[in-house]
C-alpha cells in the first residue's frame, strides 16, 4: 500500500479562512440537535402527564420545532457554503500547482494518475462536504440524547454505555478495514484509468488486433474492474455488517431495559423516556454509521489530493501564473555552457544522461539537430527552451545566464511545435497584445495569408480569436500549429520533426521556402529533422549521439563535403 502524507494539516489550512462559517454551522447544528433532544424530553413529559400537549408545553413544543428546523437549515446552508468554497479552492489550487510544476515533475506523475485525482477525488470530497452538517447534527442529537438518558437514570445509562462501547469498537474496526479497502480500490482505479486511456487512444490498434483486444478486456479491464468490485464490495460490506450489528445492539438494549423494569421497579417516565429516546436515537446513529463509508472514501480521496499537492508543492520558482509581461530581449546569441541533465533510471534500465553540452546559437541561423532515435535531441531542445533546468552548467542569453528568476521570461522568446504537440483552439494574442479587442478584430486578416500559404484556408478560419475547427488531418493540424507560430512572431522557432507528417510537396515547401523566409526575417530556427534530403539547406547541422554533440558542422563545411 502506498503511503501518502497525512491530509489533516492541509485540511486545517484549507478550513482556516472559513472559521466563522464553520462556527455558525456548528452552533446552529448543536442548537438543532439540542432542540431535538429537548423535543423528545417534552414528548416524554406529555406522555406521562394528564391533559396532553397544551398550554405552556404546546408553546415549548412549537418553539423547539422552530429552533430544530431553523438551526438545521442554517447549519446546512453554512456547511454548503464552506464545502463548495473549499472544493473550489482545492480545484483552483491543484490547477495552479500543475500549471507551475516543473515539467520533469509532471512527466514523472503520469496522466492516468493525475486525471482521477482532479475529477473523481475532488468530487468525492465535494459530496461528503455537503453531508457534513447532517452528520454533525446527528452527532449532537445523539450526544444530547445520551445526556438526557443519563439524567433519567444513571444505572440504565451505565448499561447503555457498555453497549455503546462495544458498538464503537466494532465501528472503529470496520472503519479501519473499510478505509484500507477503499485505499486499495482507489489504487486499482488508477490502473483502470490507464486501461481506459488505452482503449480510447489505442482504439484503432485494438480494432486491428484481436488477441490484444481480448487481452485488454479479459486480462486487464475485466480483472481490474472485478478487483475493484471485490475490494469495494468487501469494504462496504464491512460497514454494512457493523451497522447491522449496531442496530441489533439497539434492539437488544431496549429488550434489556424492558427486562430490567420487570426485575426492578422503574418509574414509568424513565422507562418510556428510555424506550422513546432509544428508538429515536437509532435514526441519528444510523445516519452516523451510514456516513462512515463516505467519510472513509473522502479520507482516501483527500489523501490522494494531498499527495498530489505535496508532489507539486515546489513550484518552478518565479513562475507567476497571472504574470504576462516580459522585458527579456534576444539580440544575438543563446549559449549552453557545460550543460548536463539526467533522467531517473527506469526500473531495470539505465538512466539516460545528456551532456556536457556546449553550444552557441545565433539569431538568423537555421540549425538542424539530427541523430539516432533516443540520442537526446528532444531532451537537448527541452533544456534549450528552459523547460528542464540543467543539473549542471548554464544556459545564457546574450552573455547573461538564465537563472530561475528569468527562466519563464526566457521561455517567452520561443515558439515550439513538438512532435507530440497540443493544439490549442484559441490563439494567444501576438506582439500587439496590448491592443486587446482591436488586435482580436484584425487577427482573422493577419492569419488569412498564412492559412492560404499553408493550404488550409478552405478548411479553417479564425473567429473570436479561435480557430473554427481543429478536426483536421495530422499534417493539417501541424500546419495550424505553424500558423500559431507565425502569428506569435517570437524570435526563436523550434520544430521537432514538423515535416514528418507532411506530403512530399509540402515538405519541400517547408524546407526550401517557409524556413528560409523565417530565417530571412531574423528568427533563429532550431529544427529537429530526420529528412537528410534537406540537410544541405541548414546553416549548421548538430549531430547528437548518446546524449552528446557528436558533430557540429557549419554550412560551408557541408557544401564542401557535397562538392
Ligand atoms: N521523461 C523521461 N523519463 C526518463 N527517461 C526519458 C524521459 N524522456 C526521455 N527519456 C530518455 O531519454 C533518451 C533520449 O530521449 P529523447 O526524446 O531526447 O531522444 P530523441 O533523440 O529526441 O529521440 P527521437 O528521435 O526518437 O525523438 C531516451 O533514451 C529516453 O528513454
- The CATH code of the domain that includes 298 is 1.20.1560.10
Look at residue 562 in the predicted model and tell me its pLDDT.
54
Both 302 and 340 in one domain: the answer is no
Question: pLDDT class for 148, splitting at 50, 70, 90?
Answer: confident
In a domain, 139, yes or no: yes
At which of 278, 311, 344 does a domain end? 311
In a domain, 328, yes or no: no
How far does residue 531's CA lie from ligand 1's centre (Å)? 19
Cis bond upstream, residue 356 (ω within 30): yes
Give me the mean pLDDT over the 4-19 stretch: 68
Q: Which residue has the higher pLDDT, 328 or 66?
A: 66
In a domain, 202, yes or no: no
Give me the mean pLDDT over the 349-366 stretch: 90
Both 286 and 434 in one domain: the answer is no
* 19-71 pLDDT tens trace: 888 888 888 888 888 888 888 888 888 887 776 667 777 888 899 999 989 98
**Is the shortest distance between the CB of 108 and ligand 1 below 6 Å?**
no
Indicate whether this model's pTM tops 0.90: no
CA 120/CA 130 separation, integer angstroms: 16
* 455-481 pLDDT tens trace: 888 888 777 777 888 788 888 888 888
Both 150 and 271 in one domain: the answer is yes
Give me the mean pLDDT over the 512-541 stretch: 90
CA 175/CA 93 separation, integer angstroms: 30
Q: 316 pLDDT exceeds 50? A: yes
Q: 366 pLDDT exceeds 50? A: yes
**Is the shortest distance between the CB of 455 and ligand 1 below 6 Å?**
no
How far does residue 375's CA lie from ligand 1's centre (Å)? 7
Judge contact between 493 and 518, C-beta under 8 A.
Answer: yes
Q: 192 pLDDT exceeds 50? A: yes
Q: How many domains does the chain have?
A: 2
Both 351 and 298 in one domain: the answer is no
How far does residue 221's CA lie from ligand 1's centre (Å)? 29
CA 211/CA 400 separation, integer angstroms: 57
ipTM reported for the complex, 2 dp: 0.96
For residue 99, give Cα distances in angstroms to 315, 329, 406. Answer: 9, 24, 17
**Mean pLDDT lowest for which of 47-56, 360-369, 447-456?**
47-56
Both 361 and 288 in one domain: the answer is no
Kindly give the number of the ligand 1 atom that is closest to the alpha carbon of 352: 12
How far does residue 496's CA lie from ligand 1's centre (Å)? 13
Both 284 and 367 in one domain: the answer is no
How far does residue 379's CA lie from ligand 1's centre (Å)? 6
How far does residue 107's CA lie from ligand 1's centre (Å)? 12
Q: 11 pLDDT exceeds 70? A: no
Q: 2 pLDDT exceeds 70? A: no
Q: Which of 352, 544, 548 to mutate to test the pocket of ligand 1 (most atoms within 8 A of CB)?
A: 352
Q: Which of 343, 369, 500 to mutate to test the pocket of ligand 1 (most atoms within 8 A of CB)?
A: 343
Both 286 and 427 in one domain: the answer is no
CA 253/CA 21 separation, integer angstroms: 38
Look at residue 326 in the predicted model and tell me its pLDDT.
64
How far does residue 499's CA lie from ligand 1's centre (Å)? 20
**Mean pLDDT lowest for which of 167-171, 411-415, 546-550?**
167-171
Three cell numbers at 71?
A: 438551526
Question: pLDDT class for 225, splitting at 50, 70, 90?
Answer: very high
**Is the shortest distance between the CB of 343 and ligand 1 below 6 Å?**
yes
Q: 4 pLDDT exceeds 50? A: no
In a domain, 322, yes or no: no
Alpha carbon nearest to ligand 1 atom 19, residue: 374
In the chain, % of residues over pLDDT 70: 91
How far does residue 209's CA lie from ligand 1's centre (Å)? 28
CA 13/CA 521 separation, integer angstroms: 52
Look at residue 431 in the predicted model and tell me its pLDDT.
46
Look at residue 183 in the predicted model and tell me its pLDDT.
81
**Is the shortest distance between the CB of 376 and ligand 1 below 6 Å?**
yes
Look at residue 5 in the predicted model and tell me its pLDDT.
47
Q: Please give the residue range of the domain that contains residue 392.
A: 333-562
Look at residue 548 in the predicted model and tell me its pLDDT.
94
Q: 322 pLDDT exceeds 60? A: no
Q: What is the DSSP string of 188-256?
A: HHHHHHHHHHHHHHTHHHHHH-HHHHHIIIIIIIIHHHHHHHHHHHHHHHHHHHHHHHHHHHHHHHHHH
**Is the shortest distance between the CB of 491 and ligand 1 below 6 Å?**
no
Kindly give the number of the ligand 1 atom that is closest to the alpha carbon of 108: 1
How far does residue 354's CA lie from ligand 1's centre (Å)? 10
In a domain, 383, yes or no: yes
pLDDT, averaged across the chain: 83
**Mean pLDDT lowest for which of 3-17, 181-195, 334-348, 393-407?**
3-17
In a domain, 197, yes or no: no
Phi, psi (deg, nearest 5) at residue 399: 85, -10
Give me the mean pLDDT over the 530-546 stretch: 90
Q: 3-state SS of the chain: helix, strand, coil percent to 5?
A: 65, 10, 20
Both 392 and 535 in one domain: the answer is yes
Q: 264 pLDDT exceeds 80? A: no
Give me the mean pLDDT over the 334-338 stretch: 94
Both 244 and 385 in one domain: the answer is no
Judge contact between 146 and 135, C-beta under 8 A.
Answer: no
Judge contact between 139 and 197, C-beta under 8 A.
Answer: no
**Is the shortest distance between the CB of 378 and ligand 1 below 6 Å?**
yes
**Is the shortest distance between the CB of 436 and ligand 1 below 6 Å?**
no
Look at residue 527 in the predicted model and tell me its pLDDT.
94
Question: pLDDT class for 166, splitting at 50, 70, 90?
Answer: confident
**Is the shortest distance between the CB of 373 and ligand 1 below 6 Å?**
yes
In the chain, % of residues over pLDDT 90: 18
Q: Which of 17-26, 170-179, 253-262, 354-363 has the highest mean pLDDT?
A: 354-363
Both 269 and 417 in one domain: the answer is no
Look at residue 3 in the predicted model and tell me its pLDDT.
43
Alpha carbon nearest to ligand 1 atom 9, residue: 379
Both 111 and 74 in one domain: the answer is yes
* 274-311 pLDDT tens trace: 888 888 888 888 788 778 777 877 888 888 888 888 87
Q: Strand pairing of 392-397 and 333-342? A: antiparallel
Alpha carbon nearest to ligand 1 atom 6, residue: 343
Q: Specify the 3-state DSSP secondary structure of 529.
A: coil
* 397-424 pLDDT tens trace: 998 999 888 888 899 899 898 888 888 8
Both 389 and 527 in one domain: the answer is yes
Q: 358 pLDDT exceeds 90? A: yes
- The CATH code of the domain that includes 353 is 3.40.50.300
In a domain, 217, yes or no: no
Kindly give the number of the ligand 1 atom that is closest to the alpha carbon of 376: 18
In a domain, 320, yes or no: no
In terms of Cα–Cα distance, which of 163, 129, 47, 141 is closest to 299?
129
Amino acid at each position: 500500500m502506498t503511503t501518502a502524507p497525512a491530509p489533516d494539516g492541509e485540511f486545517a489550512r484549507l478550513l482556516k479562512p472559513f472559521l466563522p462559517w464553520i462556527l455558525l454551522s456548528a452552533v446552529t447544528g448543536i442548537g438543532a440537535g439540542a432542540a431535538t433532544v429537548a423535543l423528545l424530553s417534552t414528548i416524554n413529559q406529555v406522555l406521562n402527564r394528564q391533559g396532553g400537549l397544551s398550554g405552556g408545553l404546546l408553546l415549548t413544543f412549537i418553539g423547539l420545532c422552530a429552533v430544530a428546523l431553523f438551526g438545521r437549515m442554517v447549519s446546512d446552508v453554512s456547511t454548503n457554503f464552506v464545502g463548495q468554497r473549499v472544493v473550489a479552492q482545492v480545484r483552483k489550487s491543484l490547477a495552479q500547482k500543475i500549471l507551475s510544476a516543473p515539467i520533469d515533475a509532471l512527466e514523472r506523475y503520469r496522466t492516468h494518475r493525475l486525471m482521477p485525482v482532479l475529477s473523481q477525488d475532488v468530487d468525492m470530497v465535494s459530496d461528503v462536504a455537503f453531508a457534513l452538517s447532517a452528520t454533525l447534527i446527528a452527532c449532537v442529537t445523539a450526544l444530547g440524547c445520551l445526556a438526557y438518558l443519563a439524567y433519567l437514570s444513571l444505572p440504565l445509562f451505565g448499561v447503555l454505555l457498555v453497549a455503546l462501547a462495544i458498538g464503537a469498537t466494532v465501528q472503529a474496526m470496520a472503519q479501519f478495514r473499510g478505509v484500507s479497502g477503499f485505499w486499495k480500490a482507489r489504487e486499482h482505479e488508477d490502473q483502470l484509468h490507464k486501461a481506459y486511456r488505452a482503449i480510447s487512444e489505442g482504439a484503432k490498434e485494438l480494432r486491428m488486433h484481436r488477441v490484444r483486444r481480448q487481452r485488454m478486456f479479459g486480462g486487464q479491464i475485466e480483472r481490474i474492474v472485478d478487483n475493484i468490485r471485490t475490494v469495494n464490495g468487501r469494504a462496504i460490506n464491512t460497514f454494512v455488517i457493523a451497522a447491522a450489528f449496531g442496530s441489533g445492539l439497539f434492539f437488544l438494549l431496549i429488550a434489556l431495559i424492558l427486562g430490567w423494569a420487570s426485575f426492578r421497579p422503574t418509574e414509568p417516565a424513565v422507562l418510556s423516556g428510555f424506550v422513546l429516546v432509544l428508538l429515536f436515537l437509532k435514526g441519528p446513529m444510523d445516519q452516523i454509521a451510514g456516513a462512515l463509508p463516505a467519510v472513509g472514501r473522502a479520507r482516501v480521496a483527500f489523501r490522494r489530493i494531498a499527495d498530489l499537492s505535496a508532489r507539486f508543492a515546489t513550484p518552478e520558482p518565479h513562475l507567476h501564473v497571472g504574470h504576462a509581461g516580459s522585458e527579456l530581449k534576444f539580440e544575438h546569441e543563446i549559449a549552453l555552457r557545460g550543460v548536463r541533465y539526467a533522467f531517473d533510471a527506469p526500473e531495470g534500465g539505465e538512466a539516460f544522461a545528456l551532456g556536457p553540452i556546449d553550444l552557441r546559437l545565433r539569431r538568423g541561423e537555421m540549425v538542424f539537430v539530427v541523430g539516432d532515435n533516443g540520442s537526446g535531441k528532444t531532451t537537448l531542445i527541452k533544456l534549450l527552451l528552459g523547460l528542464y533546468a540543467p543539473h549542471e552548467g548554464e544556459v545564457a542569453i546574450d552573455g547573461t545566464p538564465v537563472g530561475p528568476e528569468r527562466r519563464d521570461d526566457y521561455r517567452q522568446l520561443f515558439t515550439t511545435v513538438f512532435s507530440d504537440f497540443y493544439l490549442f483552439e484559441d490563439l494567444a494574442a501576438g506582439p500587439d497584445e496590448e491592443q486587446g479587442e482591436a488586435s482580436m478584430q484584425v487577427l482573422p486578416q493577419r492569419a488569412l495569408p498564412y492559412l492560404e500559404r499553408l493550404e488550409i484556408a478552405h478548411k479553417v478560419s479564425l473567429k473570436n480569436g479561435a480557430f473554427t475547427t481543429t478536426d483536421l488531418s495530422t499534417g493539417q493540424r501541424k500546419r495550424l500549429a505553424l500558423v500559431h507560430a507565425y502569428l506569435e512572431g517570437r524570435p526563436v522557432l523550434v520544430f521537432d520533426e514538423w515535416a514528418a507528417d507532411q506530403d512530399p510537396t509540402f515538405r519541400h515547401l517547408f524546407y526550401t521556402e517557409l524556413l528560409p523566409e523565417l530565417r530571412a526575417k531574423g528568427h533563429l530556427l532550431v529544427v529537429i529533422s530526420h529528412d537528410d534530403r534537406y540537410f544541405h539547406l541548414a546553416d549548421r547541422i548538430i549531430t547528437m549521439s548518446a546524449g552528446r554533440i557528436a558533430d557540429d558542422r557549419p554550412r560551408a563545411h557541408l557544401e564542401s563535403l557535397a562538392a
